[in-house]
Structure 1
């Protein structure tokens, strides 16, 4: 069976630390994790997925042994759970679409009845025109780019001629997402449109760094939802849904295990939370760009600083925005940031990761060196501006 292109990312060479890892060999810790994007443009290893036409999560039979001619009995609770799965799939799947970009594909979510569709920035890449297939149709529809915001790996495209009966998805409250909630991941893994996998919310508040290149913007995204629902190439941009038929996230990343030749790490997937989706999507639709990212910033341009042994040793400030948070705290070009709050900063990526876990208006103590002398500054963080 031929499939659309799903770029696989090779693993980096070099020694690997022990412990559970993500695609780029970094330790999987509660702070930030580097993962391989699960998408049409930068694939992760395949995992299992179930078609929407199948009953996901069928309960096991219960009761005493029965004759072979009798159907196995199910508990009332088991029947209710299966009914809930089928209801949610019927409610939400019509809002999940397949997006084709050249020789690559991904998924998207119908955002409104005007034809706006939200997806991952890495799904659209640099393209401006797309073909979209609705879950309840085999007809391809044309779409164009509305706007993309790689810093949170989100983008919006719009159908050129929205059909009647277009069904927008309902988005849930990110603050009400709790560990153990049942989740369904909907999308087009491996080109299998309208597929559904099931799992639970494994964690919330994750800060995750994507690898850069191969279609991935290399974003560091905070407050992500971790799920055990399988996320495979082509799932990116699809919906992570609760049993109230609400989208609680956009399927974006899946971890892989380098020591298993890049095979998927079962049950470790990540989704951008609904609050981030609606904030960024509303701005892209109204303005074509993002002016309020909701992401914390110091108001600086920086790069990784290296010590005399040529090892990363901090983030050196290259330029300071006049009147910005860092400038107001007395920081200047040439200062080397080594810590924000309790987070150690040994590189530009570490600085980005630390900031992704904070919000504008937060107060943070920044440790840095100037001319070899250690200093600290209390900074009120600002908002990351759109490029």
Structure 2
């Protein structure tokens, strides 16, 4: 008969249980309230939840039960859930975010290693949000820690495309974003009822973005993708102010009219001093059953944008890839599972994964970034 488990064995097992939202061991987060072992080797564990309405209570309980059940000699396992008091929540917030009086934007700090990509387009309807969620899912599938901020406040669509209707958890002023397909995501859609429209002016948009960047606990991200609204308005300007290191990724279709507008979205970098990391041409062609291609929206727009931005900015702006027009992309978005996960080897899935790979392996540096130095001035 195996020996009865020791409390240290149970605690070791619990140290491998990660909180599904914060992604840290529950032992480090102060979530283990108590451990009791009865004479029959039954184990009762008390677990603190961050809030009474914690949406992950069942998953946390299941993870704890499985971890303890795997310990040699353990009999019946019982998990009792409790809720942190105000002091405990304050300590949790301090352990995660520090004791700063005002939240700071971690991605705007000089030592930040997170690559921030602002996905922009000149006009709507070019598939910018579809590109964003597929790049995010593809990067996460490569093992990167990825977040998506739905900065398209009026036309938010990221939660649906990632297949989640979960609400964020709030611990004091800290917001913990839900995760879908291993991607952390935050959107104004998670704070509104139903399909209620958002009717805000510029200052409110700026404040919302600031909160999403500073009040949300993103953790240690490798990549943060910002899904910008079309055009060069308030949100694009706010992002440049809040996260100056964010790099612009331009999405266009091959159509000349769309390409000309997309060029303006990229050229905003001359005023904001941001780098344009590249261009993605979406809906490039339709592959027919006989193997031929139909240029539904003409051709060449993506390369034209890349070439013009290279000339205007004075640094190379590459065409990172061309994504074929595929009804499965739309269907996958409506179903909440990106095509890079449902059909990774399809033409569209492969193109998107290739773009994600190029963005994943990049290293931050000064090459191609405007330093705002005027070389025409004389002493």
Q: Which has the higher strand share?
A: 1
The structure in which a higher percent of residues are helix is: 2
TM-score (norm 2): 0.22
